[in-house]
Every structure is written in C-alpha cells, then in structure tokens.
Amino acid sequence: MLPVIFDEEYLLKYAKEQKIQPFRVKQIFYELFKNQNIDWDSMTTLSKDMRQDFSDNFNIINLSLDKKLEDEQTTKFSFKTFDWYFIEAVLMYHRSKHTKWKLNRITLCLSSQVGCPMWCAFCVTAKMWLKRNLTRQEIISQVLYVNNYIKNKFWKKEDGTLRAVRNVVFMWMWEPLLNYDNLKKTIEILLQRERFSLSKRHITISTVWVIAGIKKLIQDKIDVWLAVSLHAPTQSLRETIVPNAKVHKMSELIKVLDNYIKTTNNRIFYEYIMIKWVTDGDDNAKNLVKLLKWQFCHVNLIPYNENPLVDFQETSTKEIQNFKKILEDGGLTVTIRDSMGREVKSACWQLGYDSINKL
C-alpha cells in the first residue's frame, strides 16, 4: 500500500531523494489542510507532471467512502479501510435559532478503532467486537475527507474562509484511550497551525474510562476536554451495563479525574445515558449527586437512542426533566443533549448498525 501524502516523514524523505524543493512540500500541505483538496487534479499550484509523479507514489488519504447517509442535522460516512473493515464518522450541524437557524458550527465525531472492546450492553458498536486500532493516518484521513465534503457542500463563510470542521470529538468506534499513541499524534496534527489549526478547546476525548490512558493524558499535558461515559451513579449498577467497570473501579476513576482537574484546570464532562427502568429514577439521581457534588464537572443527560438490535427503552421526557431537576437541586450543572441523527442511525450508541444488521 502506498504511503499517504500527508505523512511528513515519507514525504520529506521522498522530496529529498527526488530533489524536490521544500516550498513544493509546503504547497502540498497547504492544498490538503487549507484548501481542503483531496484529489490531485484540484491541486493546481502543482505542475501536471508533479501531480502525476505524486499520484504514482502516494495516496492522498487511505480510506475510501462506502456510503453516506444524511438527514437535516447530520451526515454519516461509512469508510472502508485498506483491509476491508468498515468504520463510521458523523458530522453534526449546529444551527443558531437566533439567526433564523443559520449554520453556526460543525462537529465531527470520528472513529479511532474498528469496533469496540468495551461491550457496553446498550451499544450497537459493541456487537462488532474489536478488530484493530486505526492508524493515525486513518484517523486524519477521516478529517481530510470530511473537510473536503464540507467545502463542496457549504463553500465559504461570510469572512471568505472555507467552512470546515470546528469541533472534533473522539467518540465513535470507540475507545480512543486504548489507541493512545495514535490519538496523541492525531491531536498534535489537529492543533498545528499549518495543518488543521484547531483550538484545544474544540477537541474532546470521550472515554468509557481507561484509567491508565487518563494518567497518560496528565503526564503528556494533553489538556483537551475530557468526556467520561459514566452512565450509572454506583459501582454495582455500572457493572451491569458497562462490563469494563469491573476492572476500572469508580473510586479509582474519581481519584484520577480529580488529579486531571487539578493539573489541567478543566472541568470534566460526564455522559449519563437515560434508560427506562435502568439508569433513571429518583434514587439514581440522588446517588449521582452524592458522587459528583464536590467535583468540578458538568453532566450531560443523553436520552437513549433506541434501535432494534438492543433491548432497552428510552426514558420519557418528563422523567428526564425530573432527573435533571434533582441534579440541579443538588448543586450540579446539567444539560439534556439533543439526539441528532436518529433516523440514519448516527446517534450515540447506534454506529455500526448497518454492518451488524447485515450479519
């Protein structure tokens, strides 16, 4: 398989061997990351012969699109890897009601693994099992492809700059902290001014809670946002829906997260799934207050996104509102997340539905 053109080590080595001037390498990176081009014909700053030469020796990205599903709020991309696995990434379009629902920002939830090893009882992706980690090239390829799609779909903002992904969430397919080295390198490239130039406040790592990985984030001073999939207020309940909790105890997690807050001065975002008769109810809400009352955190209540492959039901809106009130009365800051992309199975815990449903 050919190396990807944005792999700087390979490209610089090739440029040196072929006596290609350094400014040409900068042109390529500009075409990729700033002009958001992912085909050689669009890179008109390069000569035709040079484009052909690079085309013969490099891939631009190392994923191919299998299919795309859209609704008004989201676009779900199914990508095929070189070894015929399938991964998914989801674009979410955030619109401002104060400006007649004009497009405000765009968030990309991307994959860092093929499948998932966490086996959460409510998640479709868990049914795929873990096939392998994605390389950093495969993770970055998702962003490059999607930015090109955004460019073609929305073109430029009012200030004349191209629209692009504003927020990146390492959330789908699934546990990024078990692919730590590739996660770390990807974040470095996302932050580089001459690459994607994202703010660290626009990058979120979502984790089921791999304690060793969180400790590495502290050690490496990676202080992007951290979202922890808590989903239950007690150890015993969490073990019934998140088997990984048997290994990573809640008491150990809270301790390491306190250290993360102290080191980064960032609040922790807790994701809490609302499953009817399982995680909802007054007692669970009160226990959640006891667990988090003294921590610098924010709780996101997420209505369960039902699907035919998992036998759980969504908590009613009235019950979610009551759960929220108990948390707020207990001193916690809380939001109820909008469920985007349900129709095309791109909402939380639905990714991988199409692949599983074929079996």
Q: Tell me, letter by letter, the H, E, C secondary structure of the chain.
A: CCCECCCHHHHHHHHHHCCCCHHHHHHHHHHHHCCCCCCHHHCCCCCHHHHHHHHHHCECCCCEEEEEEECCCEEEEEEECCCCCEEEEEEEEEEEHHHCCEEEEEEEEEECEECCCCCCCCCCHHHHCCCEECCHHHHHHHHHHHHHHHHHHHCECCCCCECCCCEEEEEECCCHHHHHHHHHHHHHHHHCCCCCCCCHHHEEEEECCCHHHHHHHHHCCCCCEEEEECCCCCHHHHHHHCHHHHCCCHHHHHHHHHHHHHHHCCCEEEEEEEECCCCCCHHHHHHHHHHHCCCCEEEEEEECCCCCCCCCCECCHHHHHHHHHHHHHCCCCEEECCCCCCCCCCCCCCCCHHHHHCC
CB 206 within 8 A of CB 229: yes
Residues, the chain: 359
In the set 9, 31, 88, 319, the catalytic residue is: 88
Which residues, 6 or more positions from 203, have their beta carbon under 8 angstroms from its beta carbon? 167, 168, 169, 170, 187, 190, 191, 224, 225
Active site residue 348: yes
- Catalytic residue positions? 88, 348
